[in-house]
Amino acid sequence: MSYPVPITVAFGDGIGPEIMQATLDIILAGGARLALETIDIGEKVYLGGNTAGIAPSAWESLRRTKVFLKAPITTPQGGGFKSLNVTTRKMLGLFANVRPCVAYAPYVDTKHPRMDVVIVRENEEDLYAGIEHQQTPEVVQCLKLISRPGTEKIVRYAFEYARRYGRKKVTCFTKDNIMKQTDGLFHAVFDEVAKEYPDLENEHWIVDIGAAKLADTPEIFDVIVMPNLYGDILSDVAAQIAGSVGLAGSSNIGEEVAMFEAIHGSAPRRAGQNLANPSGLLLGAVMMLVHIGQASVAETVHNAWLKTLEDGVHTYDIYEEGISTEKVGTKEFAQAVIARIGQQPEKLKPVSYASADTGAIRVTITPQPPKTIDIVGVDIFLYHDDRDPDQLGESLKHYAAGHMTLKMITNRGVKVWPAGFSETFCTDHWRCRFLSATGQPSRYENIIDLQQQLTENGYRIIKTENLCTFDGQPGFSAGQGA
Ligand code: NAD
Protein backbone atom coordinates (compact mmCIF):
# COMPACT_ATOMS: atom_id res chain seq x y z
CA MET A 1 0.00 0.00 0.00
CA SER A 2 1.57 3.28 -1.07
CA TYR A 3 1.50 6.50 0.94
CA PRO A 4 -1.31 8.99 0.30
CA VAL A 5 -0.36 11.56 -2.34
CA PRO A 6 -0.72 15.17 -1.17
CA ILE A 7 -2.98 17.20 -3.46
CA THR A 8 -4.31 20.74 -3.22
CA VAL A 9 -8.08 21.04 -3.46
CA ALA A 10 -10.23 24.14 -4.01
CA PHE A 11 -13.98 23.83 -3.50
CA GLY A 12 -14.63 26.98 -5.56
CA ASP A 13 -17.88 28.92 -5.88
CA GLY A 14 -21.49 28.31 -6.95
CA ILE A 15 -21.99 24.58 -7.53
CA GLY A 16 -18.25 24.05 -6.85
CA PRO A 17 -18.49 22.82 -3.22
CA GLU A 18 -21.24 20.30 -4.05
CA ILE A 19 -19.57 18.80 -7.10
CA MET A 20 -16.19 18.72 -5.34
CA GLN A 21 -17.63 16.85 -2.36
CA ALA A 22 -19.33 14.37 -4.69
CA THR A 23 -16.11 13.91 -6.67
CA LEU A 24 -13.99 13.35 -3.58
CA ASP A 25 -16.55 10.92 -2.14
CA ILE A 26 -16.46 8.87 -5.35
CA ILE A 27 -12.70 8.76 -5.86
CA LEU A 28 -11.99 8.00 -2.20
CA ALA A 29 -14.57 5.20 -2.31
CA GLY A 30 -12.82 3.99 -5.47
CA GLY A 31 -9.59 3.61 -3.51
CA ALA A 32 -7.75 6.89 -4.20
CA ARG A 33 -4.93 7.41 -1.71
CA LEU A 34 -4.85 11.16 -1.21
CA ALA A 35 -3.79 13.61 1.49
CA LEU A 36 -6.01 16.65 0.87
CA GLU A 37 -4.94 20.24 1.46
CA THR A 38 -7.78 22.69 1.01
CA ILE A 39 -7.23 26.24 -0.24
CA ASP A 40 -9.61 29.15 -0.74
CA ILE A 41 -9.79 30.69 -4.19
CA GLY A 42 -12.33 32.66 -6.14
CA GLU A 43 -15.10 35.09 -5.32
CA LYS A 44 -14.45 35.47 -1.58
CA VAL A 45 -10.75 36.06 -2.16
CA TYR A 46 -11.38 38.50 -5.02
CA LEU A 47 -13.91 40.46 -3.00
CA GLY A 48 -11.51 40.47 -0.05
CA GLY A 49 -9.27 42.71 -2.16
CA ASN A 50 -6.98 40.17 -3.85
CA THR A 51 -7.32 40.94 -7.59
CA ALA A 52 -5.84 37.56 -8.57
CA GLY A 53 -8.41 35.59 -6.53
CA ILE A 54 -5.73 33.48 -4.87
CA ALA A 55 -3.78 34.15 -1.65
CA PRO A 56 0.01 33.67 -1.16
CA SER A 57 -0.58 30.72 1.20
CA ALA A 58 -2.56 28.97 -1.55
CA TRP A 59 0.36 29.37 -3.98
CA GLU A 60 2.60 27.84 -1.34
CA SER A 61 0.39 24.74 -1.11
CA LEU A 62 0.12 24.41 -4.90
CA ARG A 63 3.85 24.71 -5.45
CA ARG A 64 4.50 22.10 -2.77
CA THR A 65 1.92 19.44 -3.70
CA LYS A 66 2.20 20.20 -7.45
CA VAL A 67 -1.25 18.71 -8.02
CA PHE A 68 -4.35 20.91 -8.05
CA LEU A 69 -7.93 19.66 -8.18
CA LYS A 70 -10.00 22.75 -8.76
CA ALA A 71 -13.75 23.31 -8.71
CA PRO A 72 -15.12 26.16 -10.85
CA ILE A 73 -15.05 29.65 -9.43
CA THR A 74 -17.05 32.82 -10.01
CA THR A 75 -15.12 35.79 -11.32
CA PRO A 76 -16.91 38.86 -9.90
CA GLN A 77 -18.43 41.25 -12.42
CA GLY A 78 -16.67 44.52 -13.08
CA GLY A 79 -13.14 45.41 -13.99
CA GLY A 80 -9.88 44.83 -12.18
CA PHE A 81 -10.22 41.10 -11.48
CA LYS A 82 -7.70 38.87 -13.20
CA SER A 83 -8.74 35.46 -14.50
CA LEU A 84 -7.52 32.91 -11.99
CA ASN A 85 -7.16 30.29 -14.69
CA VAL A 86 -4.96 32.49 -16.84
CA THR A 87 -2.85 33.50 -13.82
CA THR A 88 -2.41 29.90 -12.65
CA ARG A 89 -1.56 28.73 -16.14
CA LYS A 90 1.04 31.43 -16.67
CA MET A 91 2.61 31.47 -13.20
CA LEU A 92 2.97 27.69 -13.01
CA GLY A 93 3.93 27.14 -16.66
CA LEU A 94 0.96 24.87 -17.42
CA PHE A 95 1.81 24.48 -21.09
CA ALA A 96 -0.63 21.76 -22.11
CA ASN A 97 -4.41 21.83 -21.94
CA VAL A 98 -5.85 18.39 -22.51
CA ARG A 99 -9.54 17.95 -23.10
CA PRO A 100 -11.09 14.59 -24.00
CA CYS A 101 -14.39 15.12 -25.86
CA VAL A 102 -16.38 11.91 -25.87
CA ALA A 103 -19.91 11.10 -27.01
CA TYR A 104 -21.99 8.90 -24.71
CA ALA A 105 -24.75 7.98 -27.15
CA PRO A 106 -27.52 7.08 -26.71
CA TYR A 107 -27.38 8.18 -23.06
CA VAL A 108 -26.40 11.76 -23.82
CA ASP A 109 -27.84 13.45 -26.89
CA THR A 110 -25.26 14.04 -29.65
CA LYS A 111 -25.12 14.33 -33.43
CA HIS A 112 -21.84 12.37 -33.42
CA PRO A 113 -22.35 9.11 -31.52
CA ARG A 114 -18.90 7.71 -32.37
CA MET A 115 -16.92 10.81 -31.41
CA ASP A 116 -13.91 10.26 -29.13
CA VAL A 117 -11.40 13.07 -29.64
CA VAL A 118 -8.74 14.50 -27.34
CA ILE A 119 -7.80 18.12 -27.98
CA VAL A 120 -4.27 19.00 -26.85
CA ARG A 121 -3.98 22.77 -26.82
CA GLU A 122 -0.77 24.74 -26.37
CA ASN A 123 -1.47 26.97 -23.41
CA GLU A 124 1.20 29.63 -23.07
CA GLU A 125 2.15 31.12 -26.44
CA ASP A 126 0.61 32.29 -29.69
CA LEU A 127 -1.62 35.37 -29.58
CA TYR A 128 -2.17 34.86 -25.83
CA ALA A 129 1.09 36.47 -24.72
CA GLY A 130 -1.01 39.60 -24.21
CA ILE A 131 1.47 41.80 -26.10
CA GLU A 132 -0.77 44.32 -27.83
CA HIS A 133 -0.14 47.88 -28.95
CA GLN A 134 -1.89 50.70 -30.69
CA GLN A 135 0.66 51.71 -33.29
CA THR A 136 -1.07 54.45 -35.22
CA PRO A 137 -4.42 56.22 -34.87
CA GLU A 138 -5.84 53.58 -37.22
CA VAL A 139 -3.97 50.37 -36.44
CA VAL A 140 -3.57 48.09 -33.43
CA GLN A 141 -1.37 45.03 -33.22
CA CYS A 142 -1.26 41.76 -31.27
CA LEU A 143 1.97 39.82 -31.33
CA LYS A 144 1.82 36.13 -32.19
CA LEU A 145 4.75 34.32 -30.61
CA ILE A 146 5.52 30.68 -31.30
CA SER A 147 8.73 29.19 -29.90
CA ARG A 148 10.54 26.01 -30.88
CA PRO A 149 10.83 24.71 -27.29
CA GLY A 150 7.21 25.65 -26.54
CA THR A 151 6.05 23.81 -29.65
CA GLU A 152 8.28 20.81 -29.03
CA LYS A 153 6.89 20.47 -25.50
CA ILE A 154 3.25 20.45 -26.60
CA VAL A 155 3.79 18.23 -29.62
CA ARG A 156 5.81 15.69 -27.63
CA TYR A 157 3.14 15.80 -24.94
CA ALA A 158 0.48 14.98 -27.55
CA PHE A 159 2.45 12.00 -28.90
CA GLU A 160 3.32 10.72 -25.43
CA TYR A 161 -0.32 11.09 -24.39
CA ALA A 162 -1.46 9.18 -27.48
CA ARG A 163 0.97 6.36 -26.76
CA ARG A 164 0.08 6.10 -23.07
CA TYR A 165 -3.65 6.18 -23.66
CA GLY A 166 -3.62 3.65 -26.49
CA ARG A 167 -4.56 6.18 -29.15
CA LYS A 168 -3.70 5.53 -32.79
CA LYS A 169 -3.24 8.89 -34.48
CA VAL A 170 -2.06 12.44 -33.75
CA THR A 171 -3.29 15.23 -36.00
CA CYS A 172 -1.87 18.75 -36.12
CA PHE A 173 -3.94 21.81 -37.12
CA THR A 174 -2.19 25.00 -38.25
CA LYS A 175 -2.58 27.77 -40.82
CA ASP A 176 0.96 27.50 -42.17
CA ASN A 177 -0.08 28.22 -45.74
CA ILE A 178 -0.51 31.82 -44.55
CA MET A 179 1.63 32.12 -41.39
CA LYS A 180 4.74 30.48 -42.76
CA GLN A 181 7.04 31.50 -39.93
CA THR A 182 4.88 30.99 -36.82
CA ASP A 183 2.50 28.19 -37.81
CA GLY A 184 5.22 26.99 -40.17
CA LEU A 185 7.48 26.35 -37.16
CA PHE A 186 4.68 24.55 -35.30
CA HIS A 187 4.07 22.28 -38.31
CA ALA A 188 7.80 21.66 -38.91
CA VAL A 189 8.37 20.67 -35.26
CA PHE A 190 5.30 18.41 -35.44
CA ASP A 191 6.79 16.62 -38.48
CA GLU A 192 10.17 16.26 -36.75
CA VAL A 193 8.73 14.86 -33.52
CA ALA A 194 6.27 12.59 -35.37
CA LYS A 195 9.22 10.66 -36.86
CA GLU A 196 10.12 9.50 -33.34
CA TYR A 197 6.71 7.85 -32.96
CA PRO A 198 6.50 5.42 -35.90
CA ASP A 199 3.91 3.39 -33.98
CA LEU A 200 1.46 6.29 -34.26
CA GLU A 201 -0.15 7.65 -37.38
CA ASN A 202 0.33 11.37 -37.92
CA GLU A 203 -1.21 13.96 -40.22
CA HIS A 204 -1.52 17.71 -40.65
CA TRP A 205 -4.59 19.68 -41.67
CA ILE A 206 -4.96 23.36 -42.45
CA VAL A 207 -7.04 24.53 -39.50
CA ASP A 208 -10.01 25.85 -41.47
CA ILE A 209 -10.79 22.63 -43.32
CA GLY A 210 -9.67 20.64 -40.27
CA ALA A 211 -12.17 22.50 -38.10
CA ALA A 212 -14.91 21.91 -40.67
CA LYS A 213 -14.12 18.17 -40.69
CA LEU A 214 -14.01 18.10 -36.89
CA ALA A 215 -17.49 19.62 -36.74
CA ASP A 216 -18.80 17.31 -39.47
CA THR A 217 -17.07 13.94 -38.97
CA PRO A 218 -15.23 14.08 -35.63
CA GLU A 219 -14.93 10.28 -35.56
CA ILE A 220 -12.06 10.48 -38.09
CA PHE A 221 -9.90 12.23 -35.47
CA ASP A 222 -8.18 10.81 -32.42
CA VAL A 223 -5.71 13.22 -30.72
CA ILE A 224 -5.44 16.73 -32.19
CA VAL A 225 -2.64 19.11 -31.21
CA MET A 226 -2.91 22.83 -31.92
CA PRO A 227 -1.49 26.25 -31.13
CA ASN A 228 -3.28 28.20 -28.42
CA LEU A 229 -5.95 30.19 -30.29
CA TYR A 230 -7.19 27.38 -32.55
CA GLY A 231 -7.14 25.05 -29.53
CA ASP A 232 -9.14 27.49 -27.42
CA ILE A 233 -11.87 27.73 -30.02
CA LEU A 234 -11.91 24.14 -31.22
CA SER A 235 -11.79 22.53 -27.79
CA ASP A 236 -15.10 24.29 -27.04
CA VAL A 237 -16.54 23.25 -30.40
CA ALA A 238 -15.44 19.66 -29.82
CA ALA A 239 -16.91 19.48 -26.30
CA GLN A 240 -20.16 21.02 -27.53
CA ILE A 241 -20.69 18.69 -30.49
CA ALA A 242 -19.81 15.66 -28.38
CA GLY A 243 -22.84 16.72 -26.34
CA SER A 244 -20.74 16.62 -23.25
CA VAL A 245 -19.97 20.21 -22.18
CA GLY A 246 -21.37 19.46 -18.74
CA LEU A 247 -19.53 16.13 -18.62
CA ALA A 248 -16.06 17.04 -19.84
CA GLY A 249 -13.01 17.31 -17.62
CA SER A 250 -9.69 18.83 -18.53
CA SER A 251 -6.13 18.97 -17.35
CA ASN A 252 -3.59 21.76 -17.50
CA ILE A 253 -0.14 20.22 -17.37
CA GLY A 254 3.17 21.88 -16.55
CA GLU A 255 6.67 20.50 -16.14
CA GLU A 256 6.18 20.65 -12.35
CA VAL A 257 2.58 21.38 -11.48
CA ALA A 258 -0.70 20.13 -12.98
CA MET A 259 -4.27 21.36 -12.54
CA PHE A 260 -7.44 19.31 -13.10
CA GLU A 261 -10.95 20.66 -13.44
CA ALA A 262 -14.34 20.52 -15.17
CA ILE A 263 -14.68 22.62 -18.30
CA HIS A 264 -17.91 24.27 -17.16
CA GLY A 265 -18.27 27.24 -14.82
CA SER A 266 -19.73 27.72 -11.35
CA ALA A 267 -23.39 27.77 -12.53
CA PRO A 268 -24.44 30.11 -9.68
CA ARG A 269 -28.16 29.72 -10.40
CA ARG A 270 -27.94 26.01 -9.60
CA ALA A 271 -25.83 26.41 -6.47
CA GLY A 272 -26.85 24.90 -3.13
CA GLN A 273 -29.78 22.92 -4.54
CA ASN A 274 -28.21 19.46 -4.89
CA LEU A 275 -28.87 19.69 -8.65
CA ALA A 276 -25.50 19.97 -10.34
CA ASN A 277 -23.87 17.19 -12.31
CA PRO A 278 -20.46 16.37 -10.79
CA SER A 279 -19.33 14.37 -13.87
CA GLY A 280 -17.06 17.03 -15.45
CA LEU A 281 -15.05 17.47 -12.27
CA LEU A 282 -15.08 13.72 -11.65
CA LEU A 283 -13.55 13.09 -15.09
CA GLY A 284 -10.97 15.82 -14.32
CA ALA A 285 -10.19 13.92 -11.11
CA VAL A 286 -9.86 10.69 -13.11
CA MET A 287 -7.17 12.39 -15.24
CA MET A 288 -5.50 13.49 -12.01
CA LEU A 289 -5.43 9.94 -10.65
CA VAL A 290 -3.64 8.70 -13.78
CA HIS A 291 -1.21 11.63 -13.49
CA ILE A 292 -0.28 10.80 -9.89
CA GLY A 293 0.21 7.11 -10.62
CA GLN A 294 -3.14 5.74 -9.43
CA ALA A 295 -4.34 4.60 -12.85
CA SER A 296 -6.12 1.50 -11.57
CA VAL A 297 -8.27 3.65 -9.27
CA ALA A 298 -8.92 6.00 -12.22
CA GLU A 299 -10.06 3.04 -14.31
CA THR A 300 -12.34 1.68 -11.56
CA VAL A 301 -13.98 5.07 -11.00
CA HIS A 302 -14.35 5.86 -14.70
CA ASN A 303 -15.99 2.50 -15.46
CA ALA A 304 -18.35 2.82 -12.47
CA TRP A 305 -19.32 6.25 -13.79
CA LEU A 306 -19.94 4.88 -17.31
CA LYS A 307 -22.11 2.13 -15.82
CA THR A 308 -24.14 4.73 -13.88
CA LEU A 309 -24.64 6.71 -17.09
CA GLU A 310 -25.83 3.69 -19.08
CA ASP A 311 -28.09 2.59 -16.24
CA GLY A 312 -29.93 5.86 -16.88
CA VAL A 313 -29.21 7.43 -13.47
CA HIS A 314 -28.98 11.04 -14.59
CA THR A 315 -28.87 14.54 -13.12
CA TYR A 316 -31.34 17.10 -14.47
CA ASP A 317 -29.02 18.46 -17.17
CA ILE A 318 -28.84 15.18 -19.11
CA TYR A 319 -32.14 13.65 -17.97
CA GLU A 320 -34.35 12.62 -20.86
CA GLU A 321 -37.69 10.86 -20.73
CA GLY A 322 -37.43 7.45 -22.40
CA ILE A 323 -33.66 7.21 -22.01
CA SER A 324 -33.09 8.06 -18.36
CA THR A 325 -34.46 5.80 -15.67
CA GLU A 326 -34.02 8.00 -12.61
CA LYS A 327 -33.56 11.75 -12.09
CA VAL A 328 -31.17 12.29 -9.20
CA GLY A 329 -29.42 15.09 -7.35
CA THR A 330 -25.68 15.58 -6.95
CA LYS A 331 -25.40 13.48 -3.79
CA GLU A 332 -27.58 10.65 -5.07
CA PHE A 333 -25.62 10.56 -8.31
CA ALA A 334 -22.39 10.20 -6.30
CA GLN A 335 -23.98 7.39 -4.28
CA ALA A 336 -25.08 5.67 -7.50
CA VAL A 337 -21.52 5.75 -8.86
CA ILE A 338 -20.11 4.50 -5.54
CA ALA A 339 -22.62 1.63 -5.57
CA ARG A 340 -21.27 0.60 -9.00
CA ILE A 341 -17.59 0.62 -8.08
CA GLY A 342 -16.10 -2.61 -9.38
CA GLN A 343 -18.63 -2.84 -12.24
CA GLN A 344 -17.97 -2.35 -15.94
CA PRO A 345 -20.30 -0.71 -18.44
CA GLU A 346 -22.01 -3.20 -20.73
CA LYS A 347 -23.13 -1.00 -23.60
CA LEU A 348 -20.66 1.89 -23.46
CA LYS A 349 -17.03 0.96 -24.08
CA PRO A 350 -15.15 0.37 -20.81
CA VAL A 351 -11.94 2.38 -20.34
CA SER A 352 -8.56 0.86 -19.65
CA TYR A 353 -5.71 2.86 -18.19
CA ALA A 354 -3.30 -0.08 -18.00
CA SER A 355 -0.97 1.42 -20.62
CA ALA A 356 -1.06 4.79 -18.83
CA ASP A 357 -0.02 3.35 -15.48
CA THR A 358 3.43 4.90 -15.47
CA GLY A 359 2.71 8.17 -13.69
CA ALA A 360 2.95 11.69 -15.10
CA ILE A 361 3.97 12.25 -18.70
CA ARG A 362 7.35 13.99 -18.85
CA VAL A 363 8.69 15.63 -21.98
CA THR A 364 12.22 16.79 -22.68
CA ILE A 365 13.30 19.33 -25.24
CA THR A 366 15.99 18.51 -27.78
CA PRO A 367 18.87 20.96 -27.38
CA GLN A 368 19.38 22.96 -30.56
CA PRO A 369 22.88 23.81 -31.86
CA PRO A 370 23.63 27.54 -31.97
CA LYS A 371 22.94 29.21 -35.32
CA THR A 372 24.84 31.84 -37.25
CA ILE A 373 22.67 34.93 -37.34
CA ASP A 374 23.26 37.65 -39.95
CA ILE A 375 21.36 40.90 -40.29
CA VAL A 376 20.46 41.43 -43.93
CA GLY A 377 17.98 44.27 -43.63
CA VAL A 378 15.24 45.88 -41.63
CA ASP A 379 11.48 46.43 -41.81
CA ILE A 380 10.78 49.93 -40.59
CA PHE A 381 7.15 50.57 -39.71
CA LEU A 382 6.03 54.16 -40.14
CA TYR A 383 3.00 56.13 -39.09
CA HIS A 384 2.39 58.26 -42.16
CA ASP A 385 -0.88 60.02 -42.76
CA ASP A 386 -0.42 60.82 -46.46
CA ARG A 387 -1.91 57.83 -48.33
CA ASP A 388 0.14 58.10 -51.53
CA PRO A 389 2.50 55.10 -51.60
CA ASP A 390 4.37 56.30 -54.69
CA GLN A 391 5.25 59.57 -53.04
CA LEU A 392 6.37 57.76 -49.88
CA GLY A 393 8.47 55.33 -51.91
CA GLU A 394 10.10 58.05 -53.99
CA SER A 395 11.06 60.06 -50.91
CA LEU A 396 12.27 57.10 -48.83
CA LYS A 397 14.35 55.77 -51.72
CA HIS A 398 16.95 58.40 -51.03
CA TYR A 399 17.69 57.18 -47.56
CA ALA A 400 20.32 54.53 -47.38
CA ALA A 401 22.76 53.75 -44.67
CA GLY A 402 25.61 51.33 -45.09
CA HIS A 403 24.31 50.44 -48.56
CA MET A 404 20.85 49.48 -47.42
CA THR A 405 18.25 50.22 -50.04
CA LEU A 406 14.48 50.46 -50.02
CA LYS A 407 13.05 47.30 -51.60
CA MET A 408 9.36 47.51 -50.96
CA ILE A 409 6.55 49.16 -49.02
CA THR A 410 3.48 47.27 -47.85
CA ASN A 411 0.29 48.44 -46.23
CA ARG A 412 -1.38 45.84 -43.99
CA GLY A 413 0.87 43.31 -45.74
CA VAL A 414 -0.09 44.25 -49.31
CA LYS A 415 2.70 45.52 -51.54
CA VAL A 416 1.94 49.10 -52.57
CA TRP A 417 5.41 50.17 -53.78
CA PRO A 418 6.96 49.71 -56.27
CA ALA A 419 4.24 49.07 -58.82
CA GLY A 420 1.29 48.89 -56.45
CA PHE A 421 -2.36 48.99 -57.49
CA SER A 422 -4.32 52.20 -57.06
CA GLU A 423 -7.26 50.03 -55.91
CA THR A 424 -5.43 48.85 -52.76
CA PHE A 425 -6.91 50.37 -49.62
CA CYS A 426 -4.28 52.04 -47.48
CA THR A 427 -4.25 52.90 -43.78
CA ASP A 428 -1.81 55.16 -41.93
CA HIS A 429 0.51 52.19 -41.19
CA TRP A 430 3.37 51.43 -43.59
CA ARG A 431 6.00 48.71 -43.54
CA CYS A 432 9.13 49.85 -45.39
CA ARG A 433 11.62 47.12 -46.17
CA PHE A 434 15.29 48.06 -46.52
CA LEU A 435 17.70 45.32 -47.60
CA SER A 436 21.45 45.18 -47.84
CA ALA A 437 22.17 46.28 -51.42
CA THR A 438 25.18 44.02 -51.76
CA GLY A 439 23.38 40.89 -50.62
CA GLN A 440 26.03 40.65 -47.93
CA PRO A 441 25.20 40.85 -44.21
CA SER A 442 24.71 44.34 -42.89
CA ARG A 443 25.43 45.73 -39.42
CA TYR A 444 23.04 46.79 -36.69
CA GLU A 445 24.76 50.19 -36.67
CA ASN A 446 23.47 50.72 -40.23
CA ILE A 447 19.92 50.17 -39.05
CA ILE A 448 20.41 52.72 -36.28
CA ASP A 449 21.88 55.19 -38.82
CA LEU A 450 18.91 54.69 -41.10
CA GLN A 451 16.47 55.29 -38.24
CA GLN A 452 18.41 58.39 -37.26
CA GLN A 453 18.17 59.81 -40.77
CA LEU A 454 14.47 59.05 -41.09
CA THR A 455 13.68 60.54 -37.68
CA GLU A 456 15.67 63.70 -38.40
CA ASN A 457 13.66 64.12 -41.60
CA GLY A 458 10.32 63.95 -39.87
CA TYR A 459 9.28 60.32 -40.39
CA ARG A 460 7.50 58.74 -37.44
CA ILE A 461 8.87 55.28 -36.75
CA ILE A 462 6.43 53.00 -34.93
CA LYS A 463 8.76 50.03 -34.65
CA THR A 464 11.39 48.07 -36.48
CA GLU A 465 11.94 44.38 -37.12
CA ASN A 466 15.42 43.20 -38.00
CA LEU A 467 15.58 40.94 -41.04
CA CYS A 468 17.98 38.12 -40.28
CA THR A 469 19.15 34.89 -41.76
CA PHE A 470 19.69 31.90 -39.48
CA ASP A 471 22.42 29.63 -40.85
CA GLY A 472 21.77 31.35 -44.17
CA GLN A 473 18.02 30.70 -44.17
CA PRO A 474 15.82 33.83 -44.25
CA GLY A 475 13.91 34.27 -40.98
CA PHE A 476 11.21 36.54 -42.40
CA SER A 477 8.34 36.36 -44.86
CA ALA A 478 8.86 37.74 -48.34
CA GLY A 479 5.84 40.03 -48.13
CA GLN A 480 2.28 39.62 -49.43
CA GLY A 481 2.01 36.51 -47.21
CA ALA A 482 4.52 34.74 -49.46
P1 NAD B 1 -21.48 27.82 -16.57
O2 NAD B 1 -20.68 26.75 -17.18
O3 NAD B 1 -21.34 28.02 -15.12
O4 NAD B 1 -23.03 27.53 -16.87
C5 NAD B 1 -23.55 27.40 -18.19
C6 NAD B 1 -24.87 26.60 -18.14
O7 NAD B 1 -24.60 25.23 -17.87
C8 NAD B 1 -25.83 27.06 -17.05
O9 NAD B 1 -27.15 26.89 -17.52
C10 NAD B 1 -25.57 26.08 -15.92
O11 NAD B 1 -26.66 25.93 -15.06
C12 NAD B 1 -25.23 24.81 -16.65
N13 NAD B 1 -24.25 23.99 -15.94
C14 NAD B 1 -22.90 24.21 -15.84
N15 NAD B 1 -22.31 23.26 -15.12
C16 NAD B 1 -23.29 22.41 -14.75
C17 NAD B 1 -23.28 21.22 -13.98
N18 NAD B 1 -22.15 20.72 -13.48
N19 NAD B 1 -24.46 20.61 -13.77
C20 NAD B 1 -25.58 21.08 -14.28
N21 NAD B 1 -25.66 22.20 -15.01
C22 NAD B 1 -24.52 22.86 -15.25
O23 NAD B 1 -21.15 29.16 -17.37
P24 NAD B 1 -21.55 30.67 -17.05
O25 NAD B 1 -22.96 30.74 -16.53
O26 NAD B 1 -21.19 31.42 -18.26
O27 NAD B 1 -20.54 31.14 -15.91
C28 NAD B 1 -20.85 31.18 -14.52
C29 NAD B 1 -19.62 31.57 -13.73
O30 NAD B 1 -18.61 30.58 -13.90
C31 NAD B 1 -18.99 32.90 -14.16
O32 NAD B 1 -18.60 33.62 -13.02
C33 NAD B 1 -17.74 32.47 -14.93
O34 NAD B 1 -16.72 33.43 -14.82
C35 NAD B 1 -17.37 31.21 -14.21
N36 NAD B 1 -16.56 30.25 -14.99
C37 NAD B 1 -15.57 29.62 -14.31
C38 NAD B 1 -14.81 28.66 -14.94
C39 NAD B 1 -13.72 27.99 -14.17
O40 NAD B 1 -13.58 28.23 -12.98
N41 NAD B 1 -12.93 27.13 -14.79
C42 NAD B 1 -15.06 28.32 -16.28
C43 NAD B 1 -16.11 28.96 -16.95
C44 NAD B 1 -16.87 29.93 -16.29
Residue 356 has pLDDT above 90, yes or no: no
Coil/strand/helix, residue 461: strand
Considering the four listed CATH numbers 3.30.465.10, 3.40.718.10, 3.40.630.10, 3.30.450.40, the one that applies to the domain covering 1-91+244-354 is 3.40.718.10
**Confidence (pTM):** 0.94
The H-or-E segment that residue 88 falls in is helix 84-91
Question: Tell me, what's the pLDDT at 480?
Answer: 61
* C-alpha torsion sign, points 328, 331, 333, 339: negative
Give mean pLDDT, residues 394-409.
89
Instruction: List the residue whose alpha carbon is closest to atom 11 of ligand 1.
Output: 267
373-474 CATH = 3.30.70.1570
Q: Where in the chain is the domain with CATH 3.30.70.1570?
A: 373-474
| Rounded-to-integer distance, Cα 410 and Cα 428, Å | 11
Ligand 1 pocket test: which of 46, 88, 266 has the largest number of ligand atoms within 8 Å of its C-beta?
266
Ligand 1 pocket test: which of 23, 264, 282, 283 has the largest number of ligand atoms within 8 Å of its C-beta?
264
- Residue 426 CA to its chain's centroid (Å): 34
What pLDDT, in 10s, does the model give residues 207-261? 999 999 999 999 999 999 999 999 999 999 999 999 878 899 999 999 999 999 9
**Binding-site residues, ligand 1, Cβ < 6 A:** 15, 19, 72-75, 85, 246, 261, 264-270, 276-277, 280, 317
| Rounded-to-integer distance, Cα 157 and Cα 164, Å | 10
Residue 324 has pLDDT above 50, yes or no: yes
Q: Where in the chain is the domain with CATH 3.40.718.10?
A: 1-91+244-354, 111-242
pLDDT-above-70 percentage for the chain: 99
Backbone angles phi, psi at 30, to 5 degrees: -80, -5
Q: How confident is the model at residue 76 (pLDDT cuts 50, 70, 90)?
A: confident
| Rounded-to-integer distance, Cα 379 and Cα 457, Å | 18
111-242 CATH = 3.40.718.10
Give mean pLDDT, residues 53-76.
94
